[in-house]
Structure 1
Amino acid sequence: MKPSESTKVVDEKKNFFKRLVGEISHHKMITLICLVLVLVISIIIWTIAAASNVIVAGGSTSIAQVMASVTEQYKRDHKEDILYNSLGSAAARVSVTNRSYAFGFLSKDIPSSPQRGDNRGNARQLWEDERIGRFVIARDYIILIYHLPVDCEIKPEQESLQFKSFDGGEGTKLIHQIYTNHNFTWQDVFGEQLVCSTGKKNKFYTLTRESGSGTRDFFESKVIQSKNYETNQVVSSNGSMYQAIATVPGSIGYISFSYIREIINNKNLGKKAIASIIGNKTTKPELPYQIIDNNYEFNPAYSLTRPFTGIINYQGNQFGRVLAFIAWMLDPLPYSKTKPKLRNGDNNPYYVPTFKLTEHDTAYWYIKEGEEPLTFDDILFRKYNNNKNFAKSGQKIDDEKVPWNFNPDYKSLWDIIVERFPEKYQLYCGYEYNGMEN
């Protein structure tokens, strides 16, 4: 190894541990230990894969099922090996910054502008400091799942238990009481919605995810709106959450939409184990799904949704190869072809009545594994993927009080994709986000 290369390796190691300390400084000791183990494993896998020219990525466990399917399909179609290391959202940001991962996924949003306590981890500073770009590939619906006490049933006129709106509404207050007041019983909270055969008072068995989980972050920021609560059990994945709820009567927790089939087909759970929610823009309880042609499809009126956020190092050694894969994952056209109407009700010029998604389209796998693909007029695609002008404009909107104000050299990932593959992908320039939801 040349002296200059040796110095570069040493510097990279120093920067790695510096960022590691910064990332974990706000977590408890158990989170510190877990994150160190995760990153050590990531580095080992990265080192082995680098020698065999495999693209290494990693992050959220919630997207692991999708990634397992799409990377296998991409390998079949493009002869390119991609290893996805599903060790949690917390590992993705550190590992992409330090180039252990070529790209990563978080099951939560990354704020665009600086916020207190964000440890310089917002999208603007990631871009300005490290040339790391943020994008969104799909939408996930978070399900409030429960296992009724053995002697209780939901009243026959209801499809499931109902919560009023979250984001600080009555639903937030109710879920906070469930997780903090251990004297509360199912009859106290849902007495008007339940029929119980005995006079026994059934207490809640509450579950949450591990620290660093993007799903837990969403639950704490959008549902319970607190990090100060107690729980009966902490589980380390969506699968563990599902197994615990399915086997423990009286339990309650939250899980990704990707488990919708397992929940509905489970004899202990079924459709009535999925809570419905009255959102801020609805007047009736909405389930996360709607049944169309005997299929469980995404309900756009449901309020507990989150983006699956990707981050990619624009300066990574494998950026060109990774960009081709991300372009295939992001491409909104195949799914758009299946939609006769735009979100604002206009006719969709890209609709093709005879078009059917196949295994070669990423949207096929999103739907199969329980996530909602993005269309080209989707607010998440326009805002996060095709947002060059807005990001640099300094505009602000209701849910983002601080302007983005990205540097003048900022380019959204879709801009770069269109530049690199001009014949393969479309610009959709008329659908750049302008600060207003159509």
Structure 2
Amino acid sequence: MKIKKIVYIISSLIIILSILLWTIFSSNNYYMYGGSTSVNEFMQAVTNIWNKDKSHKKIIYNSMGSQYGVNSVENNTFNIGFISKEVENNTLSKGNEFVDKKYQDKTLIKDGEAIKVKDDSSFSFVEMLNNEKNRFLSLQFAIDKIAIIGNLPNWLNEKLPSINLKEHPNILKKIYEGSLTWEQLAKEEGIKDIPNSSTKIISIARESGSGTRTAFDDLADVKNSKDSSVATSNGMMVQNIKNTPNSIGYVSYGFIQNEIQKKEFTTFEINGVDIKNKDYSFSRPFNMILKAKKSSWNQAKNLVSFLFDHQEIYDKEGLVKDFVLNKIISKG
């Protein structure tokens, strides 16, 4: 028994050491990026094109979750972290802060080869980067739609295409806090010929720390989803919905846009607007997090310049291109 325990400890140490050494040595040849699993599909499409150019370092993207991305920038494991939710003052760990307000909420444009702040020729990137040691930047680069998907009861499958959050703003909150059945949901949405039954809605949420979960909870005003099942990735969420009758969940649109046509699950309209429509409002931002220093900003600037020139990646992944520097949301 003791021998097995020793072997296990040694094996674990070898794995940890291998990861550490790999990170140290690979950083000389690669940009180490990572974070949100929702951003993963987009970043894989980016790296497939970026890494073909031998004039710069290649990118490695590690899909480990939004909070992991932030923490890894703070401890210098990643050059840039990616999160799939709004940036708030408490996004960073205690003791770390974003740059001053005068550098915040600036829309970026590409003018020739230069990245500039729109309608503000006096903005100084050099001044912004001349900050204390623990200052950070955020950079919004896309808007992602969140799809509400479900595996509906047979009697409801063709009757409930939309969830009306304007008339029933608390409907998703009720579902995720466990106080609504499919019959009650159908009644609230004006469905006729509802059977005299009581079918529990099985809600599936993302794990704590997921950017998708944070964005969904904020948009739906969900405070407590402790009775929901948990999926730890977009892929697991989709699979769980497919395999669980009477379930409902949420997922990044970029992840499922090619699966919608298979009709293996229901994708809800929100307020009568199809998710493919540009006016679909149930959405959240994709953000980069980086240290406020010249080397980090130069990396981000080069990536932003690349993204400005590759609209086809946004189109393929179902995202809206939107570059805003230091859009920090203050809440409460």
- Give TM-score scaled by structure 1 length: 0.58
Cα distance change, pair 145–104 in 1 and its aligned pair in 2 (3 A): same
Encode CA deviations 1:151-200: one digit per residue, 9 max, x unaligned.
32333xx7x132223xxx832x2222212235x31011213544668544
For the residue of structure 1 that corresponds to 2:257, the secondary structure is helix
Encode CA deviations 1:237-292: one digit per residue, 9 max, x unaligned.
111111111222211011111134344223332xxx222223xxxxxx222223xx
The residue number in structure 2 matching 1:170 is 168
- 5+ residue gaps, structure 1: 1-38, 279-284, 291-298, 332-360, 375-380, 392-398, 403-438
The residue number in structure 1 matching 2:267 is 274
Encode CA deviations 1:120-147: one digit per residue, 9 max, x unaligned.
5663479755232111111101111111
User: Could you tell me whether the CA contact under 8 Å between 2:207 and 2:213 is conserved in 1?
Assistant: yes
For the residue of structure 2 that corresponds to 1:133, the secondary structure is strand
The residue number in structure 1 matching 2:284 is 306
The residue number in structure 1 matching 2:35 is 59
Encode CA deviations 1:93-133: one digit per residue, 9 max, x unaligned.
1111221111111001212xx46997456634797552321
Cα distance in 2 for residues equivalent to 1:105 and 1:53: 20
For the residue of structure 1 that corresponds to 2:200, the secondary structure is coil
1:259 lines up with 2:252 in the alignment? no
The residue number in structure 1 matching 2:312 is 364
Name which of 283, 286, 303 aligns with 1:325.
303
Cα distance in 1 for residues equivalent to 2:19 and 2:190: 47
1:234 lines up with 2:230 in the alignment? yes
Cα distance change, pair 264–212 in 1 and its aligned pair in 2 (3 A): same
**Deviation of 1:224 (Å):** 2.9
User: Could you tell me whether the CA contact under 8 Å between 2:137 and 2:326 is conserved in 1?
Assistant: no
Cα distance change, pair 386–254 in 1 and its aligned pair in 2 (3 A): closer
Name which of 140, 145, 163 aligns with 1:141.
145
The residue number in structure 2 matching 1:248 is 244
Paired AA for residue 385 in structure 1:
L
The residue number in structure 1 matching 2:118 is none
The residue number in structure 2 matching 1:131 is 135
Name which of 306, 321, 325 aligns with 1:373.
321
The residue number in structure 2 matching 1:29 is none
Cα distance change, pair 206–128 in 1 and its aligned pair in 2 (3 A): farther
Which structure 2 residues correspond to residues 12-411 of structure 1 after superposition, within 5 A? 43=20, 45-50=22-27, 52-79=28-55, 80-111=57-88, 114=89, 119=94, 123-124=98-99, 129-155=133-159, 160-165=161-166, 170-171=168-169, 173-181=170-178, 184-191=180-187, 193-194=190-191, 199-226=196-223, 228-269=224-265, 273-278=266-271, 285-290=272-277, 299=278, 301-315=279-293, 320-321=298-299, 323-329=301-307, 331=308, 361-374=309-322, 381=323, 384-385=324-325
Encode CA deviations 1:205-247: one digit per residue, 9 max, x unaligned.
1100011101111111221341x22334100111111111122
Task: Indicate the RMSD between aligned Cα atoms, in angstroms.
Answer: 3.3
The residue number in structure 2 matching 1:11 is none
Kindly indicate whether structure 1 or structure 2 has the higher relative contact order, using CA contacts under 8 Å at least 6 residues apart.
2
- Give TM-score scaled by structure 2 length: 0.75
User: Could you tell me whether the CA contact under 8 Å between 1:144 and 1:253 is conserved in 2?
Assistant: yes
Cα distance in 2 for residues equivalent to 1:262 and 1:251: 21
User: Could you tell me whether the CA contact under 8 Å between 1:62 and 1:256 is conserved in 2?
Assistant: yes
Cα distance change, pair 137–170 in 1 and its aligned pair in 2 (3 A): same
**Deviation of 1:316 (Å):** 7.2
The residue number in structure 1 matching 2:111 is none
Cα distance in 1 for residues equivalent to 2:283 and 2:154: 30
Cα distance change, pair 121–170 in 1 and its aligned pair in 2 (3 A): farther
Aligned sequence identity (%) = 28
- 5+ residue gaps, structure 2: 1-15, 101-128
